[in-house]
Structure 1
């Protein structure tokens, strides 16, 4: 199940806060360790603290936010060991996605994937935040096209958690790396060769993992109010 609202669904006030915060996390505008105070979130999104608490609980259940008694909420900070566990689980899920998709992929599906990578390429030169989000959404789109809603839901959640990991541990790299790897996955699917598609995905996720390394987090004070302003509209 995708976390994106359907075109016909009317978002509630809680949904607006949830999707705003979630997008800020995925785009790495909010970074691991950033404090999330109920008053600031409520002020920026124009909602009550009750709504904010329910949203934070929802994000906590997805592993994106840590809630600690007497300390409040903060963006989750996965350990390096947890990071490797998450990437291992992601690889298992995405292999299954491609095994299913290679059997049923249509020309229209391939066109959708190509269009998405085109958006990635455009964003990579103009908007780094959108580039990060779109790179993850490519994998979510693959899972949705597989036709297995449960599989798609788990891929959605694990991709989001990987965004946190990359925010903590990744070193700078060209967006062209991921885009080229995504093209290789599409090319493999075009041949309807599941083994080739899975091999391309394994190579891609291994490359993503290798591009991640332990780095020191800055203790510089960040203006969470200004960050949230971009996601509260």
Structure 2
């Protein structure tokens, strides 16, 4: 495996672990332990951490000490404000470019979300919920919109880990299904309204104080499945 692919594997593995709340906000990310876990050099780990810092998922302090980011309420509000703008425009663009194949892709994804909810797999539900919105942004056909929406959706997942409260993933699945129905009808006004209500619900849950987290598992045990998956994905 090339060095670039190994670096991508470390980045993607850590990103997914953060999105799925396996790595909680404030968790220290020692370069030596990460390098050992992902089978890469500390230089490549440092590059992966820099990318995660650019995504707003990691904070790098003095002496290159990296931790999973802990967004403030002020930062969280700014992220949701931007997300509402981006998601509304994504909905309008998707309707303007609508193809029947879009519905098949989105419905297949919602089927995955429902299966994760039925199997009581909360980490998968968290990740899939965000990926639904990224798929929608891809259909909008604007690479910059897709990039920025991917970033804010990922940050929202982190915000939920800091400030959020538990929520039934079944609700999100139903809201996604209602949105698909509006998109299929070409009802832009209804689709934008549904998206806005959906995001308002997420924001309401995200900006409430969270309970104290339980003691965390050792870093190596948390990251083992993500490192294994990353090596197979790149």
Q: The TM-score by the shorter chain falls in which range? A: over 0.9
Report SS of the residue matched to 2:158. helix
Name which of 125, 136, 139 aligns with 1:145: 139
Shift of 1:173: 1.4
The two structures, once aligned, show a CA RMSD in angstroms of: 1.4
Residue 24 of structure 2 is aligned to residue 31 of structure 1: yes
- The C-alpha deviation readout for 1:9-63, integer Å capped at 9, x for no partner, is x961101101100111111111110110001100111111000001101110110
TM-score (norm 1): 0.93
- The 10-residue stretch of structure 1 (199-208 or 64-73) with the greater mean CA deviation from structure 2: 64-73
Report SS of the residue matched to 2:63. coil
Residue 223 of structure 2 is aligned to residue 223 of structure 1: no
Rounded Cα–Cα distance in structure 2 between residues aligned with 1:161 and 1:63: 7
Report SS of the residue matched to 2:67. strand
- The C-alpha deviation readout for 1:164-199, integer Å capped at 9, x for no partner, is 001111111111110111111111101111111100
Name which of 103, 106, 109 aligns with 1:113: 106
What are the within-5 Å matches in structure 2 for residues 46-65 of structure 1?
Answer: 46-65=39-58
What are the within-5 Å matches in structure 2 for residues 142-221 of structure 1?
Answer: 142-212=136-206, 213-218=208-213, 220-221=215-216
Rounded Cα–Cα distance in structure 2 between residues aligned with 1:66 and 1:216: 22
Show structure 2 runs of 5+ residues with no match.
Answer: 229-234
Rounded Cα–Cα distance in structure 1 between residues aligned with 2:70 and 2:212: 10
Report SS of the residue matched to 1:66. strand
Shift of 1:231: 0.7
Instruction: Give aligned pairs, total.
Output: 224
TM-score (norm 2): 0.92
Rounded Cα–Cα distance in structure 1 between residues aligned with 2:32 and 2:45: 9
Rounded Cα–Cα distance in structure 1 between residues aligned with 2:64 and 2:210: 25
Rounded Cα–Cα distance in structure 2 between residues aligned with 1:221 and 1:197: 40
Show structure 1 runs of 5+ residues with no match.
Answer: 1-9
Report SS of the residue matched to 1:159. helix
Contact 1:168/1:217, CA 8 A, preserved across alignment: no
Give 1 or 2: higher helix fraction.
2
